[in-house]
Amino acid sequence: MSIMNTRTLSKLVALAAFCFALDCGAASKMAEALDPFIKSGKLPGAVSILYSNGELDVTCAGYADVSTGRSITADDAFMQCSQTKGFCGVTVAKLIEEGKLNLDDPVSKYLPEFSTLWVKASESGDQIVLNKAKNALTIRMCLNHTGGFPFEISAKQDRIPGGGWSGGAPIRIVAAIAAASPLLFEPGTSARYSNTGIDIAAAVVEVVTGMKWQDYLRREVLDPLEMKNTWFWPTDEQLKTKIEMYDCHADAPATWKLQNNWQQRPYNDSHVFASAGAGLWTTANDQYKFYKMLMNLGVGDNGVRILKEETVKTLLAVSSRPSGFEGYSLGLYAPEQSKDGEDAWFGHGGAFGTNCMVNWRKKQIKLWVVQLSGYPRPWDAAAKDAAEEFFKSTIDTKAADAYTNRTE
């Protein structure tokens, strides 16, 4: 595939049409809102799924591949990046409700290499001063980004120019390297967004279950929810219809991008390792099943219970951080709620513009799928207005945007 010139791209995007998955009918307000951006070529394509108390609106606008004119659908594969974190949170939550671990257990109880940790006190030239950590690192800290870890371990960042997610390393190796590396701050005293902490939590899951984390995830979450198109290694058939990556531009149509530093080709060979912090491929239809389960307080649309109601309410839907550290639970963004709980949205976003938030009290979901790099993204405001109209009430979308496009 080659990057199309602006004239050819503009002619093609002028033919943009909207398709509706899941038996949706006529064009919705969301489709109308996105139409100008699709026709201008600035937004190649997007999938929006809105749900409210039994009412569903699914909009597939524009293209998964502009150069071939292939329309985007809710069954096209894409990398959801950091939305993978919530899947790790669910696996840990399952083990907690089964009494197999405690959220405030020290990580060293399961991974002895974390018994002694060092915190970077200062750095000058080639000299780094380290202090022995005073606080024990807990599983809670790993999952809510208060453990003191960098975004990625050095072994991943050093493998590609400029840093980035290189395809990874085995989860237990990631944990071992993290344990031997200086922390950025005393555990539990600050917050820094990190894939590393999530992978450490997954390593604990491996010790407790005796299984690779991804295999436990598949057995306990993906297979029961019938998420057949979600995995760390997309098939060659899935890649034929994946959503292509594009760069956004202020005054010109989006341009095709071979790959992002955080998404290295080839996508399904031996250089790719499962990561609990990022890396799951999925489809909009599959991802919807996972978030619908969270909205339903642990029960999938197929009737299979993954978690208990109270587990979702107390471990996933509310923040587990100290007050004033911004809301975050177990791999999921969970902002502080008002007393009536009507703003009880929680969920996550991904580095390439995807996000999904659910509100279990109102029984609502807002799911958004694109594969974009860069800014500006003026359609976000239009999509927000369309969603608000669909929900027939004002929605604070700050939570939905907070962990979209986060890499550090």
Q: What is the pLDDT of residue 378?
A: 96
Q: What is the pLDDT of residue 122?
A: 83
Q: What is the pLDDT of residue 12?
A: 37
Q: What is the pLDDT of residue 398?
A: 47
Q: What is the pLDDT of residue 27?
A: 63
Q: Are 241 and 70 in contact (CB under 8 A)?
A: yes
Q: What is the pLDDT of residue 339?
A: 52
Predicted confidence (pLDDT) per residue in 267-292, tens digit: 888 878 999 999 899 999 999 999 99
Shortest CA distance to 64 belongs to which of 52, 56, 55, 76? 76
Query: pTM above 0.85?
Result: yes
152-160 LR contacts (CB < 8 Å, sep 24+): 152/194, 152/195, 152/196, 152/277, 153/177, 153/178, 153/181, 153/196, 154/181, 160/261, 160/264
Q: What is the pLDDT of residue 269?
A: 82
Q: What is the pLDDT of residue 157?
A: 63
Q: Are 401 and 387 in contact (CB under 8 A)?
A: no
Q: Are 138 and 131 in contact (CB under 8 A)?
A: no
Tens-of-pLDDT digits for all 408 residues of the chain? 223 333 333 333 333 333 333 433 346 899 999 999 999 999 999 999 999 999 999 999 999 999 999 999 999 999 999 999 999 999 999 999 999 999 999 999 999 999 999 999 888 778 888 999 999 999 999 999 999 999 988 777 655 554 445 557 899 999 999 999 999 999 999 999 999 999 999 999 999 999 999 999 999 999 999 999 999 999 999 999 999 999 999 999 999 998 877 667 788 888 789 999 998 999 999 999 999 999 999 999 999 999 999 999 999 999 999 888 889 999 999 987 655 566 789 999 999 999 999 999 999 999 999 999 999 999 999 999 999 999 974 444 444 455 444 444
Tokens of 365: 């979901």
Domains of the chain, start order: 6-83+220-402 (3.40.710.10), 100-211 (no CATH)
Give 56's strand partners: 51
The residues, ordered by sequence, that sit 6+ positions from 194 with a Cβ below 8 Å of its Cβ are: 145, 147, 149, 150, 151, 152, 277
Give 348's strand partners: 356
Shortest CA distance to 367 belongs to which of 310, 285, 262, 280? 285
- Segment (H or E) for 200: helix 195-209
Q: How many CA atoms lie within 13 A of 383 on its CB side?
A: 30
Shortest CA distance to 199 belongs to which of 132, 107, 75, 301? 107
Tokens of 21: 């998955």
Cα distances (angstroms) measured from residue 119 to each of 187, 274, 368, 370, 375:
9, 28, 38, 38, 36
Tokens of 64: 């998964």
Shortest CA distance to 180 belongs to which of 153, 199, 208? 153
Predicted confidence (pLDDT) per residue in 123-159, tens digit: 877 888 899 999 999 999 999 999 999 998 877 765 5
- Segment (H or E) for 18: strand 18-19
Tokens of 332: 């999921």
